Structures are given as C-alpha cells and as structure tokens.
C-alpha cells in the first residue's frame, strides 16, 4: 500500500508522520532537534520505520520547518515547503471549518487566517523571539521548573503577576523584580503565560480578524496556562488538537501525496554519511557564506551564493 | 574632471537624467558598482545607529568613490512644492557626507517652495563644470526629454503587467530599496522564481494616480511615499501586495501602517535590517505566494 512521509524539522523539535492515502496516521514521532537536524532526522526515521507495517511502501517525502532545505536534499524529498502552508494544509485536513490558526513554536510564532478552507492572510513574528517557546523554556530553567509542568502550575494561580508583554529583555527584568518583591512562583508563572498571549496578540495578531473556530498549535499549545489565557482574552473557545504538534508534518505529507509519482523511496539513511561544510567565498566583495552538502563524500548541493556561479 | 555618482538613494531617481546631462556636456562620470557586502559593511562602519539601512549603504558607496573622482554629486532636496516633501535624509545627506568625509561635493538644491528649481540649481554649477549657462540649459532640456521618453516606456510596461495571467504582486517600496542589489533584487529574483508578475509601485504616472492618496490620508506630505501608495489605484487588479522597507524608515513605518488598516487584500510587510541571509525572507515570501495557490 502507498504511504507518504512528512517531516517537520523545527529549531527545537523534529516531527515526523507517515500517512496513508486517506490521511490516516500510520506512524508518528516527536523528538528534540538538539541543534543537529541531520542526526535527529536519522533517529526519527529509524523510529518511524519500526512503527511502519511491512505492507506499506513510501511514495512521497515532504519536508518543512526551518531545516527543510537541508533535510529535503538528504531524503530526496519530492516536496519542500514552508511551514505556514504545511500547517494550514494539515489542519484543514482534520478541521475543514477552521477560521484561525494560532501557532507558537520554539523560535517563531504565526497566525494564519482562513476563510472557507482557503488561506486569506497570515503573519509571522519579526526577528524578535519575544513570546515564543524558547523564551518560556529559558525562563523555566531560570526558575528551575521543568517546562512540562509550567501549564499546570500556572492554572493554580488566582492572581497572575503583571509582566511587560513587549520585549523578552524587559519581561525578564520584570520577572526578576516580581520575584524579589515577593510574588509567589505560581503567580509569576501564570503572569508569564499571560504575557505570552498578550505579546502574541499585540504582535503577530495585531489587526487580524480572529474568528472561531480557532485552533492553537505548536509546542507552546501543550502549555495549559497559555491556552487558558488565550480563551480568556479572546473570549472564544480555542481548540487544541491532540495531534496539533504534528500538523506541519501531516500537511507536508499531504502535499507530497499530491505531487507523488510511482517512484518508491527507501528509508535506509542510517549509514549514509551526510556532512555539510560552510566556508566564505572570497572571490568577490560580497563574501557569501557558501554551504556545501556532501552525501557519502559526494558533493550534492550548495547554497548561499548570491551570484549563483559558485557551486 | 570626473564626477562620482554613488549608486544609491538619489541615483535611483535621477540616474537617467544625470547620464544624459553629463554625456551632453562631455563630462566624465563614474558610478559606484552595485551594492555588495563590502560596500555595505564599510557604510555601516562609518554611519551611526539611527540611520536607515539605505543611508548606511549610501555612505558605503561614497566611501568607495572617495579616491576615484574629483567631485561627488549630491543634491540637496527639500521639496517639490507644497505637501511634496522628501525624506529628511534627502535634505541631510549633503551635510552627513560633508561631516564624515574630506571630499569635494558637487551640490545643488531643489526647493520649489522657495523657487529653487532643479535647473536653477544646475546653472549654479556652471563655474565648477566650466560650462556656459546656455550649454547647461541645453543639456538639461535634452536630459529631461530623453528621460521622459524612457520613463514613458517603463510606465507602459508596468501597466501592461496588470493584465498578466500570472500571480500579480504589487511591490511597494522606495526605488532605492527596490532596485538595490542587496535589498530589493534578491526579493525580486525570488518572486520571479516563484513565477510571479511583479508590478512596481514607483513606475506609475504619478499625475494620473495621485488622487487616490487622499483615500488613505489627506495629510501626507512626503512625495515619494505618496507616489508609492498612489499605485494602490490598481489594487483591484493585483492578487497581493508586498511592502518593502528598510529599518528604521520613519516614513514607511507611518505610511504603511496607515495603508494596512484600509486595504482589503493579502499583504506582506518586509522590513530589512542588516542582511545576514535570505532564508527568513524566502519563508515569508513563499508562504505569502502560497496564499494564491492553495
């Protein structure tokens, strides 16, 4: 039977799914990227292979997320697409009536506005990482609380501390100040979750018409505190799909299905030596940083050159 | 005598006129090369933090030219009439460059509110250029005619693109950003790779599109900003709009924000600062263009 692999390689986590012709999930996995997309994808593919029943054969591979290009070459993907489109396509497959997708990931946050199953608008955070997952996890570390418990602890607070919701640098000094004047940890954590929501709505959500049904996705959607404040502040129901963290991977798998051919892919990448070398090209004043990709010592691709002449 | 022309800021508004003008007078000019990393880096080193990326780049271009010519051509533009002012940088560049570099500057004023026309300004250069006033007058009128002809052609080309069958993207930005090889060109190339038709906000006949500006604001007085948003006269003919500006452009931060609130079309706002890589921009553009395909 035909099936399709979708991989979403984010800054923090790597997500993979295998779907069949009817978009049913046959295998799925979610692991940490740990700063090494190549190795984490190798690990991910091994896990997926073990879950995959014998009779299924892979007919398409899609990659998305910030390392999509690199992994796309590594796996010979037939589709390489940005995560916004992938998320929208994946979510629409399960929730055809969704009108707003809120997404907060490790390094970026975005909002996608859909009407009648068509993306009509979207926004993404600018270079600033304020109000994203990495901010939450660095604060969790500072308070020495596991990030997984953050949401539960936030729910116990009755009086969330007010925390500046603009910039993480100010938010952090605010946090320290609140702790020093004696706010309880619960209140500070709840305040932090609330500030994430306010920050999101003030930045990416600014001027967007947020209408229900609303779905909240990305790693931060697992945080119950943030979810609670989204519901409270938007005054609308906000859904979290149990597969929400996989939506990007599912979406890209669906897109690869659309473009698939009779070609079959094998997943024996464990032994493939896959290295990247970066160096500065000094042939012109641009000094482009060229990244060359080698598969088993063979040069397969490169990017980064502005003129396109340097391979 | 060689006159240096930095390929930045004013260049993108006057290059044709200047070319014909100096060619007619048989005066040598040297134009700095397309912006590259080295030029931009030198510009950033010599400038202050508050300057916009485009101005930093301009300073880099002047730095490139400083030992290669006798004069650097820098006009000082205040306004083109009432409510037709330019960005303060266009007024200040002369003084900024004068402060940073020890070079000779060939300057003239454009300040129509005080009856200082472009021709008037150029005539004052006659002593330095060693040309008679009548020669300059002739060269100027020749340059204007030739520039006008070429402009007409580009305007027609731009208008024709409005009836293209491809995905049509209106690219709104200042000329000096749109056509700079490090700022706008990578974006234009990428849009072309995605098979989009690009319509440029600065290539319309401003006289015929001008009226639309009051729909967005009645109080704007920046000529080039007004010219850019006047392209929204054809908003119904395009699929989406990309706003391109450089950080921290004061004009764009106000004008674009005004426009966002009043348009009912998908738009993408790209603000570029120091340019490390194009990956983040590609993600945004690709997903924006996907709106029209999925």
pLDDT digit string (tens) for B191-217?
A: 999 999 999 999 999 999 999 999 999
Edge-to-edge strand ranges of the sheet holding A238-239: A118-124, A109-115, A100-104, A214-217, A238-239
**What's the CA gap between A51 and A64, in Å, rounded?**
21
CA distance A271 to chain B (A): 29
What are the structure tokens assigned to A241, written together?
Answer: 């799909």
Quick one: what percent of chain B has pLDDT higher than 70?
Answer: 99
Name the band, by pLDDT with cuts 50, 70 and 90, for residue B279. confident
A127/B273 touch (CB, cutoff 8 Å), yes or no: yes
Name the band, by pLDDT with cuts 50, 70 and 90, for residue A129. low
The residues, ordered by sequence, that sit 6+ positions from B236 with a Cβ below 8 Å of its Cβ are none
Read off the pLDDT of residues A4-42 as tens digits, 9 standing for 90 and up.
Answer: 999 999 888 899 999 999 999 999 999 988 888 888 999
Domain A2-88+249-258 shares a fold with domain A96-240: yes
Q: In this predicted structure, what is the pLDDT of residue B273?
A: 82
- Is there a contact between B2 and B30 (Cβ–Cβ < 8 Å)? yes
**What's the CA gap between B125 and B97, in Å, rounded?**
19
pLDDT higher than threshold 70 for residue A165 = no
Residue extents of the structural domains in chain A: 2-88+249-258, 96-240, 274-303
Read off the pLDDT of residues B42-78 as tens digits, 9 standing for 90 and up.
Answer: 999 999 988 999 999 999 999 999 999 999 999 999 9
Nearest Cα residue to B161 out of B217, B239, B101: B239
Domain B2-149 shares a fold with domain B164-290: yes
Read off the pLDDT of residues A250-309 as tens digits, 9 standing for 90 and up.
Answer: 999 999 999 877 788 887 777 788 888 888 888 888 888 888 888 888 888 887 787 777
Name the band, by pLDDT with cuts 50, 70 and 90, for residue A178. confident
DSSP alpha helices (H): ranges in A221-287?
A: 224-234, 247-258
DSSP alpha helices (H): ranges in B25-167?
A: 37-46, 53-65, 88-100, 118-123, 126-129, 133-160
CA distance B40 to chain A (A): 9
What are the structure tokens assigned to B54, written together?
Answer: 């485009």
DSSP-based three-state secondary structure for A225: helix
Q: In this predicted structure, what is the pLDDT of residue A205?
A: 85
All residues of chain A having their beta carbon less than 8 Å from the beta carbon of residue B260 are 207
B294/A288 touch (CB, cutoff 8 Å), yes or no: no
- Quick check: B28 contacting A, CB < 8 Å? no
DSSP alpha helices (H): ranges in chain B?
A: 11-24, 37-46, 53-65, 88-100, 118-123, 126-129, 133-160, 175-178, 185-193, 206-209, 213-216, 223-230, 250-260, 279-290
What are the structure tokens assigned to B209, written together?
Answer: 């599109």
DSSP 8-state assignment for residue B112: G
pLDDT higher than threshold 90 for residue B282 = no
Residue extents of the structural domains in chain B: 2-149, 164-290
Looking at per-residue confidence, does A308 or B104 come out higher? B104
A84/B261 touch (CB, cutoff 8 Å), yes or no: no
Which of A120, A124, A284 faces B291 most closely, judged by CB atoms?
A120
CA distance A274 to chain B (A): 21
How many C-beta atoms lie closer than 10 Å to residue B280's C-beta?
15
Per the prediction, chain B carries an average pLDDT of 92
| CATH number belonging to domain B164-290 | 3.40.50
Q: In this predicted structure, what is the pLDDT of residue A177?
A: 86
Q: In this predicted structure, what is the pLDDT of residue A128?
A: 64
Which of B37, B287, B291 faces A287 most closely, judged by CB atoms?
B37
Name the band, by pLDDT with cuts 50, 70 and 90, for residue A105. confident
- Is there a contact between B85 and B219 (Cβ–Cβ < 8 Å)? no
Name the band, by pLDDT with cuts 50, 70 and 90, for residue A166. low
Quick one: what percent of chain B has pLDDT higher than 90?
Answer: 82
- Quick check: B243 contacting A, CB < 8 Å? no
DSSP A173-201: HHHHHHHHTT--HHHHHHHHHHHHHHHHH
CA distances from A89 to A191, A255, A310, B47, B195 (A): 33, 8, 36, 45, 21
All residues of chain B having their beta carbon less than 8 Å from the beta carbon of residue A284 are 36
Q: In this predicted structure, what is the pLDDT of residue B275?
A: 65
Q: Yes or no: is domain A2-88+249-258 CATH 3.30.420.40? A: yes
B36/A286 touch (CB, cutoff 8 Å), yes or no: yes
pLDDT higher than threshold 80 for residue B182 = yes
A207/B261 touch (CB, cutoff 8 Å), yes or no: yes
CATH T-level fold of B2-149: Rossmann fold (3.40.50)
pLDDT higher than threshold 70 for residue B259 = yes
Range among A24-38, A139-153, B145-159, B256-270 with highest mean pLDDT value: B145-159
Mean pLDDT over B150-175 rounds to 95
A244 phi and psi angles, rounded to 5 deg = -50, -40
- Quick check: A129 contacting B, CB < 8 Å? no
- Number of helices and strands in chain B (H, E): 14, 10
pLDDT higher than threshold 90 for residue A135 = no
Cα–Cα–Cα angle for A281, A284, A286, rounded to 5 degrees: 75
Enumerate the β-bridge partners of residue A3.
Answer: A20, A58
Mean pLDDT over B140-162 rounds to 95
CATH T-level fold of A96-240: Nucleotidyltransferase; domain 5 (3.30.420)
CB pairs under 8 A between A and B: 53
- Is there a contact between A165 and A131 (Cβ–Cβ < 8 Å)? yes
DSSP-based three-state secondary structure for B214: helix
Mean pLDDT over B230-246 rounds to 94
**What's the CA gap between A224 and A193, in Å, rounded?**
9
What are the structure tokens assigned to B244, written together?
Answer: 């391109």
- Is there a contact between A134 and A106 (Cβ–Cβ < 8 Å)? yes
A82/B283 touch (CB, cutoff 8 Å), yes or no: yes
Residue in chain A closest to B64 (alpha carbons) equals A285
Q: In this predicted structure, what is the pLDDT of residue B277?
A: 65
Read off the pLDDT of residues A232-257 as tens digits, 9 standing for 90 and up.
Answer: 999 999 999 988 889 999 999 999 99
Quick one: what percent of chain A has pLDDT higher than 90?
Answer: 35
Token pair 């969704």 is at which residue? A98
What are the structure tokens assigned to A281, written together?
Answer: 């090209």
All residues of chain B having their beta carbon less than 8 Å from the beta carbon of residue A81 are 286, 290
**What's the CA gap between B147 and B49, in Å, rounded?**
36
């Amino acid at each position: 039977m035909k099936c399709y692999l979708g991989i979403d390689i984010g800054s923090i986590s790597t997500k993979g799914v295998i779907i069949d012709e009817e978009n049913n999930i046959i295998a799925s996995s979610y692991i940490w990227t740990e700063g090494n997309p190549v190795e984490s994808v190798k690990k991910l593919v091994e896990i997926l292979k073990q879950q995959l029943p014998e009779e299924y054969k892979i007919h398409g591979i899609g990659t998305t997320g910030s390392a999509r290009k690199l992994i796309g070459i590594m796996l010979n993907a037939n589709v390489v697409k940005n995560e916004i489109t992938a998320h929208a396509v994946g979510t629409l497959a399960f929730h055809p009536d969704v009108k707003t997708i809120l997404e907060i990931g490790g390094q970026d946050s975005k909002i996608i506005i859909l009407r009648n199953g068509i993306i009509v608008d979207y926004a993404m955070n600018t270079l600033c990482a304020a109000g994203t997952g990495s901010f939450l996890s660095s604060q969790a570390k500072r308070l020495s609380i596991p990030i997984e418990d953050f949401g539960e602890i936030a729910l116990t607070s009755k009086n969330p501390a007010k925390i500046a919701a603009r910039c993480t640098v100010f938010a952090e000094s605010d946090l320290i100040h609140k702790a020093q004047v004696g706010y309880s940890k619960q209140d500070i954590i709840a305040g932090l979750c609330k500030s994430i929501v306010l920050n999101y709505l003030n930045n990416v959500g600014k001027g967007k018409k947020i209408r229900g049904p609303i779905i909240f996705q990305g790693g931060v959607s697992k945080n119950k505190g943030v979810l609670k404040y989204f519901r409270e502040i938007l005054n609308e129901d906000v859904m979290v799909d149990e597969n929400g963290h996989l939506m990007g991977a599912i979406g890209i798998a669906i897109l690869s299905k659309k473009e698939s051919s009779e070609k079959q892919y094998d997943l024996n990448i464990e032994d493939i030596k896959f290295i990247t070398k970066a160096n500065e090209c000094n042939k012109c004043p641009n000094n482009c940083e060229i990244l060359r990709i080698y598969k088993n010592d063979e040069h397969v691709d490169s990017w980064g050159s502005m003129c396109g002449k340097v391979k | 005598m060689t006159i240096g022309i930095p390929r930045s800021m004013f260049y993108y508004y006057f290059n044709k006129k200047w070319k014909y003008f100096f060619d007619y007078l048989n005066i040598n000019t040297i134009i700095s090369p397309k912006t590259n990393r080295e030029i931009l880096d030198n510009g950033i080193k010599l400038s202050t933090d508050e300057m916009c990326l485009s101005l930093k780049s301009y300073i880099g271009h002047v730095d490139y030219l400083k030992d290669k010519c006798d004069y650097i051509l820098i006009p000082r533009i205040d306004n083109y009439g009432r409510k037709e002012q330019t960005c303060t940088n266009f007024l200040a560049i002369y003084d900024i460059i004068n402060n940073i570099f020890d070079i000779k500057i060939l300057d003239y004023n454009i300040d129509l509110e005080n009856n200082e026309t472009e021709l008037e300004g150029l005539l004052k250069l006659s002593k330095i250029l060693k040309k008679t006033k009548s020669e300059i007058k002739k060269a100027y009128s020749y340059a204007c005619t030739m520039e006008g002809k070429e402009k007409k052609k580009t305007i027609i080309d731009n208008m024709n693109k409005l009836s293209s069958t491809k995905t049509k993207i209106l690219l709104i930005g200042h000329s000096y950003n749109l056509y700079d090889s490090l700022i706008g060109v990578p974006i234009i190339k990428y849009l072309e790779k995605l098979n989009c038709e690009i319509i440029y906000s600065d290539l319309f006949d401003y006289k015929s599109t001008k009226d639309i500006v009051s729909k967005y604001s009645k109080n704007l007085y920046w000529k080039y900003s007004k010219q850019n948003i006047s392209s929204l006269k054809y908003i119904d003919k395009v699929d989406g709009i990309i706003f391109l500006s450089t950080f921290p452009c004061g004009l764009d931060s106000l004008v674009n924000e005004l426009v966002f609130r009043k348009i009912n079309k998908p738009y993408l706002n790209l603000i570029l600062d120091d340019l490390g890589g194009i990956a983040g921009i590609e993600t945004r553009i690709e997903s924006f263009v996907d709106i029209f395909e999925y």
